[in-house]
Amino acid sequence: MRFERTAERMWVRVEQAATKTTVKVNQQVIGEHLGAWTPFEFEITKALGNENELEVICEDVSHVTGGFLPAVGIHWTGARRVVVKDCPTILRPSVASRASVEGTKLLVDGEPFRTRGILHWGLYPEHGGKPWPTEEQMRQEIRDVKALGFNLIKFCLWVPPGALLPALRRNGNVCLAGIPRLGQTNSRQKSDQRIRGTFPPRRTLRLGHSANINL
């Protein structure tokens, strides 16, 4: 991807990538990212010239996780919605957890919540197996899930488009996002930043930092 320098400082943002992604500008490595279709962003100012070439290289590799799976390999790699911009993305403010436990009851926003959910792996054969649905596909899926009587969608190892979360809210569905912590550099703090950079506050149910949660 070729682009011109349009500002003193510039950034590149990738909305979805898996699993090990290397970003190069003018053949200079800017940074690496480990994630299962999660977004990330790097400042690229130090490598800029007047005319520039951007490379986003994705590798299919397995990584150690911080959850119940000892390792994760996505097996479908790629990057989507790559944007060069002249300002960094502003992270949404942290919010208090919506979930709590009272005895054996799960509460959401202080009210009893009985889950009836589905597990969504984001496998779309028509898109080469990648979790790249169109907006209309996702909206139809949300309607179908509601019609079948489910109130929760667990997105496992991928992040749905943030613009579709209001549709989940309108249909009374809760989004439970499973973002794995891959490798040593994929820290709890970075997981927090990915959540804040993707999901609007109060539209996501967050239970814990891995599947090893005792409710």
Are both 56 and 109 inside the same structural domain? no
State yes or no: pLDDT of 44 exceeds 50.
yes
* Four-residue CA torsion sign, 14, 63, 141, 151: negative
Asked whether residue 215 is domain-assigned, the answer is: no
Count of domains observed in the chain: 2
Asked whether residue 203 is domain-assigned, the answer is: no
User: Which residues form the domain of 52?
Assistant: 2-85
Burial class (CB in 10 A: 0-12, 13-18, 19+), 55: middle
Q: Which CATH number fits the domain that encloses residue 34? A: 2.60.120.260
Name, of 48-57, 58-67, 103-112, 117-126, the range with top average pLDDT. Answer: 48-57
State yes or no: pLDDT of 86 exceeds 90.
yes
Tokens representing 190 are 């970075």
The one-character DSSP state at 195 is H
Are both 81 and 113 inside the same structural domain? no
Are both 76 and 21 inside the same structural domain? yes
Q: Among the listed ranges 3-7, 72-76, 139-143, which one has the minimum average pLDDT value?
A: 72-76
Q: Which CATH number fits the domain that encloses residue 134? A: 3.40.50
State yes or no: pLDDT of 188 exceeds 80.
no
Q: Among the listed ranges 3-7, 116-120, 166-170, which one has the minimum average pLDDT value?
A: 166-170
Asked whether residue 167 is domain-assigned, the answer is: yes
Are both 147 and 58 inside the same structural domain? no
Are both 140 and 173 inside the same structural domain? yes
* Four-residue CA torsion sign, 125, 131, 132, 133: positive
Are both 69 and 108 inside the same structural domain? no
Q: Could you tell me which residue, 41 or 185, shows the higher pLDDT? A: 41
Are both 106 and 194 inside the same structural domain? yes
Q: Give the whole-angstrom CA distance, residue 98 versus residue 96.
A: 6
Q: Give the whole-angstrom CA distance, residue 207 versus residue 191.
A: 13
Asked whether residue 207 is domain-assigned, the answer is: no
Are both 171 and 193 inside the same structural domain? yes
Asked whether residue 92 is domain-assigned, the answer is: no
Asked whether residue 186 is domain-assigned, the answer is: yes
Look at residues 186, 185, 179 and name the one whose alpha carbon lies nearest to residue 207.
Answer: 179
Query: pTM of the entire structure?
Result: 0.71
Asked whether residue 28 is domain-assigned, the answer is: yes
Asked whether residue 160 is domain-assigned, the answer is: yes
State yes or no: pLDDT of 11 exceeds 80.
yes
Q: Could you tell me which residue, 150 or 171, shows the higher pLDDT? A: 150
